[in-house]
Structure 1
Amino acid sequence: MSIGLSTHQIRPFISNPIKISRHSLHHTPPKHLRLRPSPLKSQPSHQTKTQDDGVPADDVKIIAKFRSRHNYIRVLEVSRKTDHPFAGSRLLLLDGPGNIHSVSFLFKSLTNTYFDVFATLPPILPPGPIGILGFGAGSAARLILELYPEVVIHGWELDPSVIKVAKEFFGLVKLEKKYPGRLFIYVGNALNASIREGFSGILVDLFSKGSLLPELEDPNTWEKLRKCLRKGGRVMVNVGGSCVEAEDSRRDGKVVMEDTLKAMQRVFGENLFILHLGNRKDDSSIALTGELPDLVAWKKALPHSLKYYVDMWIPFSE
């Protein structure tokens, strides 16, 4: 038996879960676990394991699972011995379908997921703090704090249980101690996030029940967030895509993504760009607001492993 991993979400652990507020895990080993693919410069050879390849079920351990007021929370640990890109990682899964909300490796910072794209934002922002709306277990925050010594982060997470899990299993306590005065975490509605003098940039990663928040399909939400930015500030958003599996099958990931981008376009106009990850069947996308920056300067400010994301941005058009 193997577990298929492919970077945004993990499919249900059992084919017919008990119908309660959140899907339940069965005590038998999962037949299929899938984590959506992240972008690569080129297609891997047939000899190279990718995130779509299977991992033996014995190499994946569930180290926590419970229901909170807001989520069905699971923490998975992938064995370091397995032949897979996610070997040695811990994964935070939320909601019934089991969408990935955080990825953490013990011996490396980059995740080879959309969190790495988020980490390219600081060099194209004016001075000032960054807001993370949908903090999860802190994957994006950890990367940014390590890469950019001057950046201060304010993160919002609705579910206090997610923050507790982040502290127990994802090293959040250590992160807070390592970066005193640079990391501030708030429990509450991220759409009410604000700080005095505004954000230089905002990262948006807001999902509920396996789907983008419905509020993100409303232009008024983006107008409110735009007003929270300093002059020259930008918003970068995980808008999901066809890879996203919602608890409500009527909320098709691709349709919700397109409606969200249209709502953003009504506020940001032609200053809206999109970066597609994965493949055409199981794609996910990131959106960016503001004028396209100087790409050469942007690349120079990034570590080598993140430079190629710069060339992937294209203007959004309906």
Structure 2
Amino acid sequence: MATVTPLTVTASPLSGHLLRHRRRGRLHAKHQPQPPRRRPRTARLYCAPDGGAGEVSAPPAPPAAEEQAPQEQPHDFNLLAVNRSEFNEIIMVIDSPAARYLVLDHNKNIHSVLPKTTVWTNSYWDEFVSLPPVVPLGPVALLGLGAGTAAHLMLKFWPWLQLVGWELDPMIVELSRQFFGMSDLEKATESGGSLSVHIGDALSPSATVEGGFAGIVVDLFCDGKVIPQLQEVETWLQIAKKLMPGGRIMVNCGGADVEESLSSSWVQNPTVKALCSAFPGQLNWKRLSEKESVNYVALTGPLPGLDEWSASVPSELSTKVKQWVPCELA
């Protein structure tokens, strides 16, 4: 039985945007000495004032009395499970009033989120909901399933979808079924859609279905970075072979490797560069806003008709899909 450890985090303008400015969101918790008479398994966490949005760390030394700001209200974070596996030295399930998080790696990267107060994540996972209207009818692959954030969203709006997901770590699948409702996704909806879960290498030649996929969502990270294979042209050519005619690939490409402004070109992102080389003239891209996660996302194939695409997606995405543009080599 998992132990529930209550954690508290002092609210700040950053506390509501754990996924902001990150390739994947990061939730940092550093140990600090416990004051006397405090419950021994309780820690107080603070949003780092200068560590980048989305990072939570131990507080700095308190300022002088005349510099202290008014005390802000705390929000509770509960540590529902901590584990490790052959593939991840740190696996944590963290609960808050607003959402539940799957946190991996020493860098405490958020790999999945299950919102409680809204359907949307306000991050790159929302973009995947826009894929079904621009691909043929057929199964959609999720390469990098995590705790099923994309699957929850896609089946919410397209309940007839046949999703096929691959996750390398069986421990993550076990925890996802226990804490993130993945078992419910594996049951058929009233419209016949469901998630089929496969444990194994998402890039393996066996990660396919007969007749090919109508769409493939790629969201593969390790230690907070896109896995190196996704920066190689050959990897994308092999993934494309798993598509049916007219199928498309949608990719979370992470952020840029260097500091840049929001208006900078995609050329700083090695995954987008590899995709553009693999699919010349057949790649589109966009960059999410600062309020979302500042990730790049990419879509293979010709640029869809934006007005028609906008009209076919949930209203929350109708403006966002019009931000896609063709990706052209400089």
TM surpasses 0.5 = yes
2:187 paired with 1:171: no
Question: Which residue in the other structure is 2:323 paired with?
Answer: 312
Which of the residues 128, 141, 160 maps onto 1:118? 128
2:92 maps to a residue whose letter is R
Change (3 A) 1:56 1:117: farther
2:94 maps to a residue whose letter is L
Which of the residues 272, 285, 290 maps onto 1:274? 285
1:59 maps to a residue whose letter is D
Which of the residues 218, 232, 249 maps onto 1:218? 232
Question: Which residue in the other structure is 2:10 paired with?
Answer: 2
Query: What's the CA shift for 1:294?
Result: 1.1
Change (3 A) 1:162 1:224: same
Which of the residues 57, 64, 68 maps onto 2:85? 68
CA distance in 1, matches of 2:286, 2:31: 32
CA distance in 2, matches of 1:111, 1:287: 18
CA distance in 2, matches of 1:217, 1:11: 26
CA distance in 2, matches of 1:300, 1:132: 24
Change (3 A) 1:58 1:148: closer
- Percent identical across equivalent pairs? 36
Counterpart mapping for 1:1-318 below 5 A: 2=10, 4-5=14-15, 6=17, 7=19, 8-14=24-30, 28-32=43-47, 58-71=75-88, 72-79=90-97, 88-106=98-116, 108-179=118-189, 182-192=194-204, 193-242=207-256, 258-279=269-290, 283-317=294-328, 318=330
Matched-pair contact (CA < 8 Å) for 1:9–1:243 = no
CA distance in 2, matches of 1:255, 1:70: 31
| Aligned length, in residue pairs | 276
Q: Which portions of structure 1, spanning 4 or more consecutive aligned residues, are displaced by more than 6 angstroms?
A: 254-257
Matched-pair contact (CA < 8 Å) for 1:243–1:284 = no
CA distance in 1, matches of 2:100, 2:184: 16
Change (3 A) 1:181 1:309: closer
Secondary structure of 1:234 counterpart: strand
Greater mean deviation of Cα atoms: 271-280 or 284-293:
271-280
Secondary structure of 1:9 counterpart: coil
CA distance in 2, matches of 1:30, 1:106: 21
Change (3 A) 1:316 1:15: farther
CA distance in 2, matches of 1:31, 1:69: 31
Matched-pair contact (CA < 8 Å) for 2:257–2:269 = no
**Runs (5+) with no aligned partner, structure 1:** 17-25, 38-54, 80-87, 245-253
Change (3 A) 1:257 1:174: farther
Query: What's the CA shift for 1:144?
Result: 1.1
Query: What's the CA shift for 1:314?
Result: 2.0
1:145 maps to a residue whose letter is L
CA distance in 2, matches of 1:243, 1:151: 35
CA distance in 2, matches of 1:233, 1:126: 6
Q: Please give the per-residue CA displacement for 1:9-33, whole angstroms capped at 9, x wherever unaligned.
A: 11432289xxxxxxxxx96333337
CA distance in 2, matches of 1:139, 1:272: 25
Secondary structure of 1:201 counterpart: strand
Matched-pair contact (CA < 8 Å) for 1:156–1:185 = yes
**Runs (5+) with no aligned partner, structure 2:** 1-8, 33-40, 56-71, 259-264
Bigger Cα Rg: 2
CA distance in 1, matches of 2:314, 2:266: 34
2:46 maps to a residue whose letter is K
- Structure-1-length-normalised TM-score: 0.78
